[in-house]
Structure formats: structure tokens, C-alpha cells
A and B are shown apart, each in its own frame.
Chain A
Amino acid sequence: MSNPVFERIQSTIDANDVVVFMKGTQSFPQCGFSATVAKILGHLGVDFQDVNVLADPEIRNGIKEFTNWPTIPQLYVKGEFVGGCDIIREMFETGELRAFLEEKGVKLEQAA
């Protein structure tokens, strides 16, 4: 029995290099953790598709099951779950996030 919500999630992460399932949108994040991830990606000049889970309750719960990760935001790069806010912030602070994105061939707007 296929899961329509999982299929929606899968097609979103297949269709976009970088996806953030977040509370709110990148221009109007509605949660500190989601805002942090959006700000970090903005700082690195990374275009990403935001999915506002507050506007889509099915996705809000479905993504937690899909990823087997209990919190929002969730960052996907090239279909792979990278982490939530803590992991993204830690990777950013150590420079790992930039290296990871470059290795995955994600375009970073301007070099810092």
C-alpha cells in the first residue's frame, strides 16, 4: 500500500537539489530553528525549495516518519537527509556544510 504523503515528499526532494521542510517560509520563517537554517543557507548563497509544514499538516507529520527524525526543520540535499537545525549549525560553524554542498555540486552564490 503506497503512501501518498511519502510520494509527495519523495517527488519534492527528487525535483529540487536543496529542500528545507520548515515552519513558515524562507522569507517568513515562523520558528527560530527554521529561521536559523534558512539564514545559514542564505549566507552561503544557496537557492532552496522551502516547504511550509505549517500550511500542510500531512507533510508536517509525514516528513517526521519519512525521515525517522522527530523535529522540524529538516534539510535535504540531492534527496539525502542532512540534518536538523543543530546539525546544520554545527556543520556550518566547522565549514563542513560548505564543503558538503560543493562536493554535492550545489551552486553557492558568492564565496565568503
Chain B
Amino acid sequence: MPMNAADIEHLIKAALPGAEVTITDLAGDGDHYAAHVTSTAFAGKTRVAQHKLVFDALGGRMGGELHALALTTAVPK
């Protein structure tokens, strides 16, 4: 059952309090999103570690229920 953008945003914000999350639906099929996440929790971390924080927030849905999430991360300026 594909996810909707609001669920993704909610999950990420719940795990990364204060994060800014922008979700773009790439295909309108609930399965291909782009997400840009900005969080202080990423400070000092490699991109791989930053992405893993987001994957953890999504609770193992990445690669399964959520087939394709184009993810970019950033630390607040």
C-alpha cells in the first residue's frame, strides 16, 4: 500500500524534531517521491549517516513499501 506525502513528512518530523521537510510527489502514484530534509541532527555527519537517520525515521519502509524516495539532506545554515 503506497504511502502519502503527509505520512512521510510526519514520520520524519517525529524522529527528527525541528526538521524542515519538503516532499515532492514525482509521479502521482504514491510511490515515487523526492524529499529534502534539513535538520540540525545532520551536523557533522556524512551524507550516508544523514540518509540513514531518515531511513530509520521511516521505520524500515525504505526500499519496501516506499519503493523510491529521492532523498537530499542539509544542515540548517
A: which residues have CB within 8 A of B?
33, 64, 68-72, 81-87, 90-91
Q: Tell me which residues across on chain B come within 8 A of A84, comparing CB atoms.
A: 51
B: which residues have CB within 8 A of A?
47-48, 51-52, 55, 60, 62-64, 68, 70-72
Q: Tell me which residues across on chain A come within 8 A of B52, comparing CB atoms.
A: 68-69
Candidates A70, A72, A83; contact of B55 at CB < 8 Å: A70
Besides the contacts A70-B60, A70-B64, A83-B48, what 14 more A-B pairs have beta carbons closer than 8 Å? A69-B48, A69-B52, A69-B55, A70-B55, A70-B63, A71-B63, A81-B48, A82-B48, A83-B47, A86-B70, A87-B48, A87-B51, A90-B72, A91-B47
Q: In the complex, what residue of chain A is closest to B63 when comparing beta carbons? A: A70
Candidates B47, B62, B72; contact of A71 at CB < 8 Å: B62
Shortest Cβ gap from A39 to chain B (Å): 16
Whole-angstrom CA separation of A86 from B68 in the bound complex: 10
Q: Tell me which residues across on chain B come within 8 A of A83, comparing CB atoms.
A: 47-48, 51
Whole-angstrom CA separation of A71 from B66 in the bound complex: 10
Shortest Cβ gap from B46 to chain A (Å): 9
Asked if A90 contacts B47 (CB within 8 A), the reply is: yes
Q: With A70-B55, A71-B62 given, is the CB distance from A33 to B68 under 8 Å? A: yes
Shortest Cβ gap from A32 to chain B (Å): 8
Whole-angstrom CA separation of A33 from B68 in the bound complex: 9
What are 20 A-B residue pairs whose CB atoms fall within 8 Å in the complex?
A33-B68, A64-B63, A68-B52, A69-B48, A69-B55, A70-B55, A70-B60, A72-B63, A82-B48, A83-B48, A83-B51, A85-B70, A86-B70, A86-B71, A86-B72, A87-B47, A87-B48, A87-B51, A90-B47, A90-B72
